[in-house]
Amino acid sequence: MDCIIPGTNLKVLAKALQALAKIGDELFMEAKTEGLSFITLNSSKTVCARFNLLDTFFSSYEMNQDDSNEVISCKIHMKIFLPLFKGNLEKKLEYFKIEYITDSDLITFKMKYKCDDIVMVHKLRLMDTETLSIGVVTNSGCSNVSASSSFYSQLLSMFNLTDDEVTFEITPEKVVARNYCLGTPCRPKMMRTQINLNSTEFLSYQITKTTSINFSLKPFRTLVHFAETFTLDVDFNFEIGGKPLSIILKNPTFEVSFIVATLDPYSDTNSSVATVSSSNKVASNKKPSETENWQSGDFSKESSFRDLMRQVENDKERLDDVIPKSPESPRSKKVKMVFGRCFDPTFSETVLGDVLAPNSDSE
């Protein structure tokens, strides 16, 4: 494999690698005749992020004749590859070249600078070869929702940065986004957030089945941030909760797809690909309903504060009867005067010692 990326496209590659680094620590590289792919998985194997750079993304893209019908794959650690893309490379470099020979332990990166014809060569050692099989097609879902990146960015701004998950309750008329699940106890110091999105607010809205999908916010935030940098539309492709959700970005020269594991929080049985998190387990299998309001929590009962204060006073009186009070600490009757000498009626010169010189003033 021998490919050259022009300097004008290096910003896309750098932002793509920064997004992938937020998901996983290992980077898979797959070269095909139609382009080069960068893939990573998170530690729990619930998120797969893929950046496909099409052949039009490169100024030169060549495959060896022996490997033209095969997929060339290798794996490299993200920590040794990402430092190569620090700074504004699109302003410094003329091109970025990737060279790799099948079954080699090294991969070569050549960086041609615009000034002084400097070519910097980096040879990085690869990790052990591993076959990566996803088994999920990004457009296999029967429902599809699309909106602009700014639309999803405004949606994410409604949630706290501490929120780890989001639940989409999807109907043919609207999408209700929540940071909690109906019927579950509210966590302490948690602010419940609910946003209603009408179908007319989306660029395209095709829903074949009403469902609820719960998934992680971290990959969603990462993808929306990348999409907003290059003003790309964000497509959701899914079927039902418990099956993988595909989030897709498309550009004439590259494509991005995040496959995220989901679960249906209101279903008795969750899919095996659902995110393995203890907080995802719902104590109640209560179905969402339109009649349920936000006043169902214990924190919103009428006169709860007055009843609570009365209960505290009763408990305090009961404790006073059972547990005797501690004896008061003895108080000293002596008062220390910091400037006590200022209040003395007389003053003795012997306190100051011998007089070495008389007063200059007669008074």
List, for residues 220-262, the tens digit of each pLDDT value: 999 999 999 999 999 999 999 999 999 999 999 999 999 999 9
Are 166 and 46 part of one and the same domain? no
Are 178 and 86 part of one and the same domain? no
Are 210 and 282 part of one and the same domain? yes
Does any domain span residue 131? no
Does any domain span residue 15? yes
Instruction: Give the residue numbers spanning the domain of 116.
Output: 2-125
Does any domain span residue 300? no
Reported in sequence order, the residue ranges of the chain that DSSP labels E, i.e. its strands, are: 2-6, 26-32, 35-41, 47-54, 60-62, 72-77, 93-99, 106-113, 119-125, 143-148, 165-170, 174-178, 194-198, 204-206, 211-216, 233-238, 245-250, 254-260
What's the rounded mean pLDDT across residues 190-212? 92
**Poorest-pLDDT segment among 14-23, 174-183, 197-206, 353-362:** 353-362
pLDDT computed for residue 171 by the predictor: 94
Are 286 and 151 part of one and the same domain? yes
Are 65 and 184 part of one and the same domain? no
Are 79 and 182 part of one and the same domain? no
Does any domain span residue 305? no
Closest CA to 97 of 7, 176, 198, 190: 7
Does any domain span residue 327? no
Per residue in 53-77, pLDDT (tens digit) is: 999 999 999 987 565 567 888 899 9
Two structure tokens written together for 124: 């990085």
Q: How many domains does the chain have?
A: 2
Are 151 and 267 part of one and the same domain? yes
Residues 249 and 48 sit within 8 Å (Cβ to Cβ) = no
| Residue 99: CATH number of its domain | 3.70.10.10
pLDDT computed for residue 63 by the predictor: 84
Two structure tokens written together for 226: 């990348």
Does any domain span residue 360? no
Are 275 and 194 part of one and the same domain? yes
Are 121 and 239 part of one and the same domain? no
Are 188 and 154 part of one and the same domain? yes
Does any domain span residue 333? no
